[in-house]
Amino acid sequence: IIERLGKFSGETIVLGCLMEVAPKEFKERWEGRSIAIKNMNEIDSFFPEFNIKYKEIPVGNTPINSKNIYKTISPEVFLKQRLSMALSPAMVGDKIYSYLHRKKKENYQTTFIWVSAGCPNNCSFCAERKVIGKPISRQINEIVDEYKKLIGEGKRNFEFIGDDVGSYGLDINTSLPELIAKLNMVDCNYKVNWVVKHIHPKFIIKYKDDLIHIAKSGKIKEIICCFQSGSNRLLELMNRQHTIEEVIETLKDIRQALPKIKLATNIIVGFPTETNEEFNQTLLVFDKVYFDRVHMIKYYDAEGSDSRLIIPKITDESIASRIKTAKKFFKQRGIYFQTRD
């Protein structure tokens, strides 16, 4: 790519995460200017003659509508991709789920509301914090004004998103419950649906009572809380800052208080040193707390992550076997699952 771009007369500027997660290798391959993801506002200094500044561009909370995506893809590419997907047995379950979901929510559109960027956590399996930086929260008034505008436009289905939504407000002396309470006062006369995505378990534990109180309004339809493992030993190695008992107790209380709410989670399969017994401990969590969806992630050594140094590693064969066991386990319990390499 570098050689190809070098044929042009203009300057090449690299934007991405490599300069943060693999700085040594990046410097060996690139001597030009670059911008890290967490420093996106610096892009304005590269183009001082531009009238519209990057940092002044408002957040685009575009509704999800998959039909619009296909308009930007050529027919040949679209057909090739769709045919290859359709021929994959792994897609059958996804297609059935998607079809039923689409029929149930024929005119359903979800609008993203971005509340914060950055992450305060330091999970050993992840290097994203080096890329995205510390939490930067949007001001409550800014989010509330935007929410009012979206409500006025007829939007009723929202997903609150961020790298860790639970950390919202840590940098501006407020909190996620305070934000949600403010939003809850805006739409009293409307039926709205909220999805709160990717709350670290430690914030679910911390804000449990507030979330239950607010969720009783019926607006919060789904919470995504990724507990990753049912083994306290592994959670400590992952630097997750909570125990599995705390997570189970908290989510059981939420489920009991809000029986109709949907709970979704992620689990990591094959974290270094994970034993079969510890893998089974993870599965047993689902017998203690009912989850509607689970996303299984096969562990891999992420560039720049601390867990790369943890040994022994789990073989690909063992991970595949555990994934197979987990799929059978979830099928028996009627839990929708997905797998990501």
What separation in angstroms does the CA of 125 have from each of 122, 262, 271? 9, 27, 8
- Distance CA(264)–CA(158), nearest Å, equals 16
- Distance CA(246)–CA(66), nearest Å, equals 38
- Distance CA(19)–CA(184), nearest Å, equals 41
Q: What number of other Cβ atoms are within 10 A of residue 22's Cβ?
A: 16
Domain locations in the chain? 2-56, 66-340
By residue count, the chain amounts to: 341
pLDDT of residue 59: 65
pLDDT of residue 85: 42
**pTM: predicted TM-score of the whole model, two decimal places:** 0.76
What separation in angstroms does the CA of 134 have from each of 23, 38, 204, 239? 19, 9, 19, 17
pLDDT tens sequence across 276-333: 999 999 999 999 999 999 999 999 998 889 999 999 999 999 999 999 999 999 999 9
- Distance CA(14)–CA(2), nearest Å, equals 10
SS3 state of residue 143? helix
The CA-to-CA distance between both ends of the chain, in Å, stands at 26
Q: How are beta strands 136-137 and 111-117 bridged, if at all? A: antiparallel
Phi, then psi, of 96 in degrees rounded to 5: -65, -45
For residue 66, pLDDT over 90 is answered with no
pLDDT tens sequence across 75-93: 444 444 444 444 444 444 4
Write the secondary structure of 162-222 as one string of H (helix), E (strand) and C (coil). Answer: ECCHHHCCCCCCCCHHHHHHHHHCCCCCCCCEEEECCCCHHHHHHCHHHHHHHHCCCCEEE
Q: Quick check: 291 and 263 in contact, CB under 8 A?
A: yes
What separation in angstroms does the CA of 270 have from each of 34, 229, 276? 35, 10, 9
- Distance CA(106)–CA(152), nearest Å, equals 21
User: 182 CB contacts (<8 Å, ≥6 apart)?
Assistant: 140, 144
- Distance CA(250)–CA(98), nearest Å, equals 30
User: 253 CB contacts (<8 Å, ≥6 apart)?
Assistant: 208, 212
Q: Please report which confidence band the pLDDT of residue 49 belongs to, taking 50, 70 and 90 as the band edges.
A: confident
Burial of 213 (0-12, 13-18, 19+ CB in 10 A): middle
Question: Under CATH, to which class is 66-340 assigned?
Answer: alpha beta
pLDDT tens sequence across 216-270: 888 999 999 999 999 999 999 999 999 999 999 999 999 999 999 999 999 999 9
Burial of 225 (0-12, 13-18, 19+ CB in 10 A): buried
